[in-house]
Amino acid sequence: MKDYIEERVMELARYILETNATVRAAAKKFRVSKSTVHKDITERLLEINPGLAHEVKTVLDNNKAERHIRGGLATQKKYKGMHE
């Protein structure tokens, strides 16, 4: 694995842990695709640091479990703004 990829993987992992960021937010911050973030975290990080990979997976699993709530709040905000 190239050094710059390994460095990006570690930066992504730290960012997600520190901010509880979603895959989409991390992708936007690092200017990469969601697919790249997902591959970096689920495959590459597992090779580099399995313990850290488990911690990050916990954060992402929690985000995935809560995404329907965020979606509902976004819809509520959208329609509330339309009626004002």
Task: Give residue-wise pLDDT tens across range 19-43.
Answer: 999 999 999 999 999 999 999 999 9
Structural domain harbouring 35: 3-82
Q: What is the mean pLDDT of each run of 10 residues along the chain (84 residues)?
A: 92 96 95 96 94 94 82 82 72
Give the pLDDT score at 84: 64
- What stretches of the chain show up as alpha helix (H) in DSSP? 3-19, 23-30, 34-39, 45-48, 50-82
Structure tokens at 30: 């690092």
* Residues in Cβ contact with 33 at an 8 Å cutoff, skipping those fewer than 6 apart: 27
* Residues in Cβ contact with 57 at an 8 Å cutoff, skipping those fewer than 6 apart: 41, 42
Count of domains for the chain: 1
Give the pLDDT score at 77: 83
